[in-house]
Amino acid sequence: MLGPVDERTPPMTPQLALRVAMIGGLALLIFAIIFFRLWFLQVLSGTRYVAEATSTHTRYVPVAAPRGEIVDAAGNPLVQSVRVPSIQIAPRSLPGQVVLDYAQKLPVIIPAQQDDPLFARLARLLGFSTRPHPCTYRVYLATGPVLYHTRLATIPCRIAESVAQAPFANVTIKTNVPTYVQDYIVERNAQFRGVLTQDTYVRRYTLGDAGAQIFGTLGQLTQAEQRYYKGVQLGDIVGQSGLESQYNQYLQGIDGTEGVKVDAQGQFQGYARGTPAQIGDTLKLSLNARLEQVGQQALQDSVNATPGSTGGAFVAMNPQNGQIYGMGSVPSYNPRATSAGISYKELAYLDNPKNNSPLLNRAIQGAGPDGSTFKVITATAALQSGDWGLNQIYDDTGSFCFAHTSVSQCRHNAGNAAYGPIGLVFAIQDSVDTFFYNLGYRLDLGPIATWAHPNGGALQQWAWKYGIGRPTGIDLPGEVTGAMASPRMFLGLWQQEMECEHATGPYKGHPKHPAVVQNGTVLSGGCGIANTKYWTIGDNVNAGVGQGDVQVTPIQLAVVYAAVANGGNIVTPHLAQSVLSPTGQVIANINPGIRRRLHIDPVYLSAIQQGLRQAVTSGTSADTLGNFPQQVYGKTGTAQYFNAQNQEQDYAWYACYVPATATSKPIVVVVWVEKGGYGDVAAAPVARMILGQWFYGKPGSFKVGANKTL
C-alpha cells in the first residue's frame, strides 16, 4: 500500500534567487525602453512624422542638352536639334533590377521577370508588341565586348541593349509620343514605376538622305568610349561617325536637370525648378546645300540608269583652299531613322555589304583603280624624270608590246584604235592607252634596281607626292589611305597570301587555302590576295594607266586635280569652315591650309592642262561637256575591276575642274560610279549637272553620255 505523497517544494537556493531577480530586472528594463520609445514616437515625434508623411521631396532628373546646329556656307540649317515628348525608363528605378545573368553560357544583361507586367502595360500604351523577337547587343566583359543574341520583346530588348552600354543611363523607349500619353503615365505613377515622361532632343535633317554619311550617326556613350569623350556623362548621346563625331566637342551641349516633386510614396506632386541645359555650338560648313542635293540626286540617277551598278560617290571642292562644296555617296540612308541614336540592328543593316553598305562614305572610304584619270600623274612623272619630253613623238600602231619574263606581251587601245605619231597633249586629249603603257614601261626601274628601291621609281614617287597611298587629312573619321602599286606592296600582299594559305599569323585557326597549281606553275593564290611576290615591268605598265593594284579614293583624286588646277599645291580638303557660339560669336575658324608644294615645271603643267582642256573640247568627254559655257578641264576614266569570280567589271570615273570666273569660285569635281562602264557614259553627266548648278543654278536633267570614251 502506497503512502501519502509529499507535495512540499524544496527551498530556493540563494544563487537561483539571484538569477531570477536579474532576469526579471532585465525584462522590466527592456519593456520600459520599448514603452518609452513608443511614447516618444507617438507623443513627442508624432507630429514631425505626420508632417514628413504628408510632405514632398524633389528628385532631379538629368535633362540631355540639345546638340548644336550644323549649317551650310550661307547659314542655312542642315542638321538641327528638335525637342520632342518622349518616354524613358530609369533602369535603377524599376521594380526589379536589370542584372548581369551569369547563368547564361555568356553572361547577359537582362531585365528581371517582375518587370514584365510593367513592360506589358507600357507596350500596350505605346503600341509595341510584347512578343519576343531576335535581340542582339554587345555585352562588355573583362576580356572585351562580345555580341549576344537572344529573344526579347521590344522594350526589354532596348533596356538590355542600353544598360549593356551604359549601366546608369536612362533608356529612351519612344520619341514623338502624344502629350496625353505622358499625362496618363504621370497620373498613374505607381503603375509605371521607373518610367519617365521626359522631353528629349532628336536631329532633324533638312536635306533628306543627301549628306547622310557626312553628318554621321549618333549613339549612347559606352564605357569603352568614355575615355575619348571628356566631360560627357556615360549614356549621353554622342557622335559616332561623320562630322557628329569629328566635332563632338563643339556640338555636345551641357546637360541640365529637371526637378520632380514626389510624396513619401513616390507619387507625382508637381515640378520644381532645375538647371537649364545649354545647347552646343554651331558648326558652319563650306557645303552648299543646293549643290549637295543636286549632286546626290544626279549620282543616284546615274546609278539607277546603269544596270548592275552598286553605288558611287562624288566630290565638289575648291581647288585653291580645299573647302568642300559638296560630297555624296550612294546608296545612302534616311538619317532620321538614327536621329535618336543608332542601335546594333540598324548599324548591322547599314554596314552590310549585302545591302551595298549604305553607311559607307564612298567618297573617302571607297578605293580602287581609277583608270585613265591617273594619267596626269604618269605624265608628271615622265616629264619631271626626263623619261619623256614634250617634243617627243610616239608612233601609235594601236598596240604596245614588251618583253615580260621572256614572253612578249601586248597591250591595246580601246577598240584597237591606232592614232599614228602623237605627243603627250594629244595622248591626254584622246586618252591613248598605248602612249601611257609606254611611259609606264620607261618609268620602271628594272629587276635589279627594284630590290634596292622597293618603293618604286618616279611613277610611285610622284603618286606619293600627289597623295596616293596617304590620307588627305579631311576632317572626317574613317578615311582610307588607298595604295600605289609598288614592289613593297607586292611583298606585303604576298606575305598576307602565305599566312592565309597556311593559316598562320592573323589567320591562325582558319581553314587552309592551298594555291591553284597546274604543271608546277601557280595559277592563282588560294586566298586570291596575291599570285606572286615579284614585281615585274608589266606591273608598272599597268600602273601607268591607273590599273592593276592602284587604289585611289575620290577625295584623293580631287586633291590630285586640285593640284593640277592651282599650280602644284596639295590642299587639305575640309568641310568645316568655323565654329560659332549659340549667340553667333566665332569660337574658331577652320582653315588647315596647304599640306605641301609640288615643284612641277610650269611648262610641263601647262601641257597637261592643255591636254585636259582639249579632252573636253574635242576629246573623250566632248559629247558630254564640249558645249558647256565655262572652260572645263577634264579627264574620263574607265577602270577594270575583277570580282571574286575573276569577272571583269568597268567602273566609271570623271575628274575635272573649272577656274574661277568673275561671279563664281573655282571648282574641282570628281565622280565615281561603281560598275558604271565608260567614264563619259555614267560619271561625266553627273559632273555636268553639278557644274550647271554651281555656275547657273540650273543643273538640268541627267542624260547618259556617249558610249565611246575611256
What's the CA gap between 404 and 537, in Å, rounded? 7
* Angle, vertex CA 414, rays to CA 658 and CA 365, nearest 5: 55
Taking the domains of the chain in order of start, what are their residue ranges? 59-259+271-285
Residues of the chain with confidence (pLDDT) below 70: 1-12, 16-17, 21, 36-62, 97-112, 114, 140-144, 167-168, 223, 258-271, 340-344, 404-407, 520-523, 643-647, 706-710
What's the CA gap between 499 and 505, in Å, rounded? 6
CA torsion angle for 84, 87, 90, 91 (degrees, to 10)? -130
Q: What DSSP character marks residue 42? A: I
pLDDT at 404: 65
Q: What DSSP character marks residue 533? A: S
Which architecture does CATH list for 59-259+271-285? Answer: Alpha-Beta Complex (3.90)
Q: Which amino acid is at 363?
A: A
pLDDT at 157: 87
Say which residues have a Cβ less than 8 Å from residue 386's Cβ, sequence separation at least 6: none
Please, are residues 422 and 392 in contact by the beta-carbon 8 Å criterion? no
Three cell numbers, residue 666: 573655282
Three cell numbers, residue 167: 549601366
Q: Which amino acid is at 9?
A: T
Torsions phi, psi for 421 (to 5 deg)? -65, 125
Please, are residues 262 and 269 in contact by the beta-carbon 8 Å criterion? yes
pLDDT at 233: 75
Quick: pLDDT tens for 80-137: 999 889 998 888 777 776 665 555 554 555 666 767 888 889 999 999 998 988 888 7
User: Other CB atoms closer than 10 Å to residue 219's CB: what's the count?
Assistant: 22
pLDDT at 431: 95
Say which residues have a Cβ less than 8 Å from residue 205's Cβ, sequence separation at least 6: 78, 79, 211, 212, 215, 335, 336, 339
User: Other CB atoms closer than 10 Å to residue 502's CB: what's the count?
Assistant: 14
- Please compute, for residue 259, the number of CA atoms within 13 A of its CA located in the half-sphere on the CB side: 11
Quick: pLDDT tens for 207-237: 999 999 999 998 877 767 777 787 777 778 8
Q: Which residues pair with 394 in a beta bridge?
A: 422
What's the CA gap between 142 and 179, in Å, rounded? 42
pLDDT at 710: 47
